[in-house]
A = this chain, B = another copy of it.
Amino acid sequence: MVGDSGSGPEQGGVVTQAAVTRPAASARPRATTSADVARRAAVSRSTVSHVLNGQTARFNPDTVERVRQAAADLGYVPSAAGRALVIGRSDFIVIVAPDTTLTRLQDVVEVLAADMKDLGFTAVAHFPPTEAERELPSRLHRVVEALRPAGVIDLGGLSARDLDYLRGIGCPVLTQFEQDTLNPYIGTLQAAHLHSRGHTEIAYAFLSDGRTNPYASARATGVGEFCAEHNLRAPAHVSVSLDPSSAAQALDQLVGRYGRRFGIACYNDEVALALVYAAQRLGLSIPDEVGVIGVDRSSAGQLVVPRLSTVSADVVASLARVRLAIVRTYGTGSALEELPPLDEVVSVLPGETS
């Protein structure tokens, strides 16, 4: 319908020639239904439905077992379509990926998906379209409309419009940024580390990827709070794209403002690398004059000279709050998790750049 074809990014993805496995003949075998299970267990479809939905108490244990066995034998999985139709929602949870490059996205989604599965949900990920081709209704709209998901977990890519839409239709949304404490804490940690290295002028370097980045904002806020508490000047904000000239430009700004001695808290290790590179070319001494600290403990940052100072976070632990929220929303209340204190979730890994 919409005519335009893939806009989009440029470099690196390396995917290739495709071979298609066509459906066997053309007719796709019908999947096993609850009727099949019922037949095999010698009960009615409704009994199957009841048993499989946990109404196990008021049934003959023998029957329950038979039904379960039959379902297992046949590898029966209730059709989301039928279920969604009658319930009004499905067992799917949609994870909305951030439109920012999140280094450990795969890990995050995997952990979340495993959790969801333990709660009886099935997680799928939605990657929002790039800025360029935002359409109406959005793709998320379609996904939600079709899936009727039990919930949506926003990792950062949810637009305000989509959020409104979801709230409008009463779909539970887990937004991590409303009461986020971890990302501000990360910023605080960066600032505190630079401060401990003797820096009294601290700047924050955003990744310039054209979009608002909730992670970056939250972290910059943390940096700002630290500065305020310690009577330092409010941090300058610079925006850096991942090339030498952009980084050099940002450094120029900072030198203009601070002179030759200051610390930079960076959105991530890549930004930090760019600034370190530019600083060296500009003859700024690292770490003596300029201190740099990133976030992510990327392997690259640990394999270069000078080795990057960075903030390292534990994926599983950092997801604890999201998981807790999920359990609270949908949970059987069973496994009430402990929230690990922030300083166990995230910590500074000192390197040679600060």
Contact = CB atoms under 8 A, between A and B. Distances in A.
A296 B12 CA distance: 5
> Which one of A8, A30, A180, A247 has the highest number of Cβ atoms from chain B below 10 Å of its Cβ?
A8
A248 to B, nearest CB: 12
Contact of A84 (B8, B81, B177, B323): B81
A238 B112 CA distance: 33
Given A31-B169, A79-B85, A298-B300, A179 B17 contact: yes
Interface string A115-156: 101101011111111100100010101110111100001010
A11 B104 contact: yes
A312 interface: yes
Contacts of A11: 104, 296-297, 312-315
B85 A313 contact: no
A182 B14 contact: yes
A19 interface: yes
Contact of A124 (B143, B153, B179): B143
A114 interface: yes
Contacts of A231: none
A215 interface: yes
A107 interface: yes
A13 interface: yes
Contact of A114 (B123, B129, B148): B129
B316 A6 contact: yes
Given A31-B145, A106-B105, A146-B90, A313 B13 contact: yes
A249 to B, nearest CB: 15
Contacts of A23: 170-172
Contacts of A129: 110, 113-114
A310 B2 CA distance: 36
A160 interface: no
A46 interface: no
A315 B8 contact: yes
A284 interface: no
> Which one of A19, A175, A179 has the highest number of Cβ atoms from chain B below 10 Å of its Cβ?
A19
A304 B280 CA distance: 10
Interface in A1-36: 1-25, 27-31
A9 B315 contact: yes
Interface string A270-313: 10011011001000000000000001111111111100000011
A103 interface: yes
Contacts of A28: 88-89, 169-171
A321 interface: yes
Given A14-B186, A107-B8, A139-B122, A242 B299 contact: yes
Interface string A193-229: 0000000000000000000000100100000000000
23 contacts: A2-B118, A5-B114, A5-B335, A6-B115, A8-B107, A8-B110, A12-B296, A13-B107, A14-B182, A15-B176, A15-B319, A19-B176, A20-B174, A21-B174, A79-B85, A80-B148, A97-B106, A110-B128, A124-B143, A270-B303, A273-B300, A274-B299, A277-B303
Contacts of A107: 8-9, 12-13
A324 B328 CA distance: 45
